[in-house]
Amino acid sequence: MTLALTASSTLFLYFVPFFVSLALTYVIKNRLANARQLDIPNNRSSHRIPTPRGGGLSFVIVYLTGLAIFFGLGAISTSTYIGLSIPLVMVGGIGYLDDKEHVPAKWRLLIHFLSASIAVYILTPLTISGTPSYYCVIFFILCTTYLAWLINLFNFMDGIDGIAASEALTVILAMIIIHISISSYDAIAILIFLAGAISGFLIFNISPAKIFMGDIGSGSLGIMLGGLTFCSFHSSSKIFIAWNIMMAAFITDATLTLLKRLINRERIFEAHNSHMYQRASRYFNSHMRVTFSVCIINLFWLLPVALLFTLNQISAPISILVAYAPLIVSFIYWRN
């Protein structure tokens, strides 16, 4: 997955998807508003004005187009193209249907696990010389479960203006820096392209949001980033760990909130507003402040930790502890 990048080609890779996504989001916003496909506020909502939902279709279309172009240019292999695009079409498709007309959680979850299994099977080296076959099966199950959780995680965390798109954008920016720092250029072109596509949508999604990404956008972000995470297995296991350090804010909030709801015997697929970021947005009475805080955490806390790890300055256990411990403490603070 390597393209020779110059300053001009880098700008091209970012701004072309940016402007296409921007234009598509504008068109989709108006169409959804005219079709009355709106997210109507209720007592669990973090917004107060009916807002079009489903705008994530813009960056999904742009990213899929980009993958096809990269494949046509020979910049990515057939397996990488299939492993990144087919699961995205599946997740985006079920999300699109759910945005238009509610799809039962069991069917959404089935598609999420099926798409995750396809991505893991294609993108991840499952056979390791000298390793028992049952280890490979366990590894496959764990990876599939992780990726399915990542898909749902972004759906759970897309609850205030701009937060999911800003999380994805800052994580991608950080991973570009990390790839460059260790002279690993295999995924940079796709990361830049995806950053442009998400940025175009974010212009309309930042607080006060003119459009929401909907399930098609949030679930797709999960499979997009998750797919690229598993692609990193082929270049460096350090990159895989770095991805998980960079997504620590979302992983911590979503995972601990789910565990808390399970302990309290609450319906985990029922809409709620008990996430740490939702509590913080109510406390500060601001979506922008919380979204901006997530960006600051990613770029000024998690990125240095991930860089120190990938540059062999600290070990994996220490880096994970330093990344996640403050976030867990913050969750405990905001849970009340």
- CA dist list (Å): 133 to 102, 122, 128, 231, 321: 40, 17, 9, 22, 31
pTM: 0.93
- CA dist list (Å): 50 to 41, 42, 199, 284: 6, 10, 23, 22
pLDDT at 35: 77
- Averaged confidence pLDDT in the chain: 90
Residue 131 in this model has a pLDDT that exceeds 90: no
At 51, give phi and psi (nearest 5°): -135, 135
Tell me the C-alpha distance between 181 and 51, whole Å: 41
Q: Which of 151, 145, 228 is nearest to 188 (CA)?
A: 228
pLDDT at 335: 65
> What's the pLDDT tens digit per position in 243-295?
999 999 999 999 999 888 888 888 777 767 778 888 888 888 889 999 999 99
For residue 175 the two structure tokens come to 């991973």
For residue 207 the two structure tokens come to 């607080």
pLDDT at 44: 63
Residue 84 in this model has a pLDDT that exceeds 80: yes
CA 290 to chain centre: 18
> What's the pLDDT tens digit per position in 299-326?
999 999 999 999 999 999 999 999 999 9
Q: 278-286: long-range contacts (C-beta < 8 A, 24 or more apart)?
A: 278/46, 278/159, 278/160, 279/334, 279/335, 280/334, 281/46, 281/160, 282/46, 283/334, 286/207
pLDDT at 226: 96
Tell me the C-alpha distance between 272 and 264, whole Å: 13
Collapsed DSSP state (helix, strand, coil) of residue 315: coil
pLDDT at 336: 56
Tell me the C-alpha distance between 67 and 88, whole Å: 11
Tell me the C-alpha distance between 13 and 2, whole Å: 13
